[in-house]
Chain A
Amino acid sequence: MASVTFEKITKRFGSFTACENLDLEIRDGEFVCLLGPSGCGKTTTLRMMAGLETPTSGRVLIGDRDVTAVHPKDRKIAMVFQDYALYPHMNLADNISYPLKVRGESREARHAEARRVGDVLQIGHLMERMPAQISGGQQQRTSLARALVTPSEVYLFDEPLSNLDAKLRLDARGFLNHLQRDLGITAVYVTHDQAEAMALATRIAVMDRGRIVHYAPPLEIYHRPATTFVASFVGNPPMNLIDCTARIEGGALVLEAEGLTVPKLPVTPAIEAAAAEGKMTFGVRPEHLWIADGSEAGQIAGELFANENMGPESLVTLARTKDSRLTARLFTDEPLNLPETTRLGFATTHVHLFGPDGVRVPGVDE
């Protein structure tokens, strides 16, 4: 096992900048997820760790070793590809043990090892099959087995679950979590699925347009997202964000927007600075809203737009203005009868504030 360090990494493809001046440190034994929308540079970042792309500038270190110019074969890494890259002309045993073959191990030794890893991943009985003859979930585990068959310093995962259907993906996710607990490997995992990142990572690096915008443990990112981008990317449904006019009045912050009633909030120097421009973004997560009943500190009112009962919970969507909607996640398994104009309540502790530049403004207790 080893740590991975990115030092001021920039990667350009022609005029397109995939990664801009990236610094990233992954500690030994950590499971780091690179999370972001497509085109944010997360896969390029992973491929630079693997050596499949060469950075335009900057250094990559594995442990203390500068591997920036080292060929992938000499990096002591393992990688699981999005399309699995299982060789169609080899059976499972040969596929899984290919890394051992290039190291010159005998056929018997290789196949025994492939069988051992295969058994752990519940594909041990399929060793004679060809990749085309097994299911998608089994293919996924075969590619995982090939990565695990040799000890490596870092394990890289490029959206390994994105080709599975929803149920298999949940299974596989649980399995990966179990594996990480068992083996304690250093892993870097690329995904655009925030739930996957939340479930698996010890730390998440949220990426946007070639930069890391927030790098922290999952719950830290959930509770204190660094920017409006992070707030709207992590959490499902995403955080409700409302653009407000802001001013300081009598030592308190006053936020105003159509349909929004916010209690006066205590002022910190950071809030004062952010409010100086007269605009702020107010945020509250859907699961922190309830039907206003008098117990709330603030309210948001809007026309009822949709009311979806999902079983254990209901998603209620209000149209606050003509083109701004917000969603509440209400934990009830009863049908909800709501009036045309509905009011939702929230508590002051669940309010997130962002400055005009989209950056989080810490509250009093942060």
Chain B
Amino acid sequence: MKRFSLLSARAGATFMSPAGLLVGAFVIVPFFWVIFVSFTNRSLLGPTALNPDFVWFQNYIELFTSGRGVEPGTFGFSLILTVQFVLFSALIGQALLGLLLAWLLQQVPKSVKGFTETMVIGAWILPEVVIGFAWFAFLDYDNGTLNGILDALGLPRGDWLLDYPFWVIVVFNTWRGTAFSMMLFNSAFASIPPSYFQAADVAGASSWQKFRDIGLPLIRGHVVTDLILITMWTFNVFTPFLLTRGGPGGQTEVLSIYTYRVAFRDFDFGKGAAVGVVVMLINLAFALFYLWVARKRTPRKEAT
């Protein structure tokens, strides 16, 4: 017997089809195509542009055995650099700062809350090229705002983009992305009934004790979600390119910039695709872990 539903299966399939076509063509097809290309020596020009040879694992072998160790410009260097970049800018920078801010915002006057929230979120929503340029000006050796402030404080100035490029993109990415963690934790804290904290107040708990004993344990699930998401995003982020172009001397060439250079500057699509596949495998591991955590947290819905 035909079951009643608000939308029949046939209508449902029709409703799904535009999205299905777009996602199929621009997400799922590329997924398989990149795997295919990674086994070829396809390039932009020359004989292998139109009739690439099948080279099996050649691209992958080259990635992991460049013969130059892990100097800048190699895949190994970019991989290790990206792991460090994620560790410092996402896990330590964004998550910790976001947590601190979210906790502080619960207990400061509205005006200060509004100001700080707007600044942190502003860093996050402005277009990436604008941000890249603002930082370029901010860090300028001769006239930049940062060195100007250091001068005023009597501290030594620095040529940051040249001398500390890695730490620049770490601080930059922390600055750029803290908003997400802050907002996630903020709404997590806000969803805790105020009576929990009032009960602790009555019991004489300090802010730190309330954070440690009530706030943090109750938002543990959100912390896990946040860490996985910002790790994935930071792992794939291309924005540092707009500040450093991967330089100087490849010192800030994170994986996404490496892929771009190999594919679109060296025109070695096969190798670029191989990097893409490695990145996807790492993404897949994170995504599966995330879905597993998310499923564990929400009880299964009724089958209907």
Contact = CB atoms under 8 A, between A and B. Distances in A.
Whether chain A touches chain B in the assembled complex (some CB pair under 8 Å): yes
Interface centre among B1, B4, B303 (most CB of A within 10 A): B4
B3 interface: yes
A297 B89 CA distance: 84
B7 to A, nearest CB: 13
B2 to A, nearest CB: 6
A219 to B, nearest CB: 37
B302 interface: yes
B304 interface: yes
A54 B303 contact: no
B207 to A, nearest CB: 38
Interface string A203-217: 000000000000000
Nearest to A57: B1
B4 A53 contact: yes
Contacts of B4: 51-54, 71-72
Nearest to B304: A13
Interface in A42-64: 51-55
A54 B2 contact: yes
Nearest to B4: A54
Interface in B267-304: 302-304
Interface string A27-52: 00000000000000000000000011
Interface residues of B, number: 7
B302 A54 contact: no
A54 B304 contact: no
Contacts of B1: 54-55, 68-69
Contacts of B304: 13-14
Looking at chain A's contact residues, is the secondary structure mostly helix, strand, loop, or mixed? loop
A14 B301 CA distance: 12
B16 to A, nearest CB: 22
Contacts of A14: 302-304
A54 B302 CA distance: 17
Contacts of A68: 1
Contacts, number: 19
Looking at chain B's contact residues, is the secondary structure mostly helix, strand, loop, or mixed? loop
A267 to B, nearest CB: 50
Interface string A240-274: 00000000000000000000000000000000000
B11 to A, nearest CB: 13
B205 to A, nearest CB: 36
A51 B5 CA distance: 10
A14 B304 CA distance: 8
B295 to A, nearest CB: 18
A68 B2 CA distance: 10
A53 B4 CA distance: 6
A67 B4 CA distance: 12
Nearest to A50: B4
A71 B4 CA distance: 7
Nearest to A68: B1
A68 B303 CA distance: 23
Nearest to A13: B304
A69 B2 contact: yes
Contact of B303 (A13, A53, A71): A13
Interface string A284-323: 0000000000000000000000000000000000000000
Contacts of A53: 4
Interface string A66-83: 001101100000000000
A72 B5 CA distance: 10
Nearest to B303: A14
B40 to A, nearest CB: 48
B302 A13 contact: yes
Contacts of B302: 13-14
Nearest to B3: A54
B302 to A, nearest CB: 7
A52 B4 CA distance: 6
A10 to B, nearest CB: 12
Interface in B71-101: none
B134 to A, nearest CB: 42
Contacts of B3: 54
A71 B8 CA distance: 12
Interface string B1-22: 1111000000000000000000
A206 to B, nearest CB: 26
Nearest to A56: B1
A54 B304 CA distance: 12
A53 B303 CA distance: 14
A193 to B, nearest CB: 25
A71 B302 CA distance: 23
19 contacts: A13-B302, A13-B303, A13-B304, A14-B302, A14-B303, A14-B304, A51-B4, A52-B4, A53-B4, A54-B1, A54-B2, A54-B3, A54-B4, A55-B1, A68-B1, A69-B1, A69-B2, A71-B4, A72-B4
Given A14-B302, A53-B4, A71-B4, 15 more contacts: A13-B302, A13-B303, A13-B304, A14-B303, A14-B304, A51-B4, A52-B4, A54-B1, A54-B2, A54-B3, A54-B4, A55-B1, A68-B1, A69-B1, A69-B2
Interface of B: 1-4, 302-304
Interface of A: 13-14, 51-55, 68-69, 71-72
The 9 closest A-B pairs by CB, nearest first: A54-B3, A14-B303, A54-B4, A13-B304, A51-B4, A54-B1, A52-B4, A53-B4, A69-B2
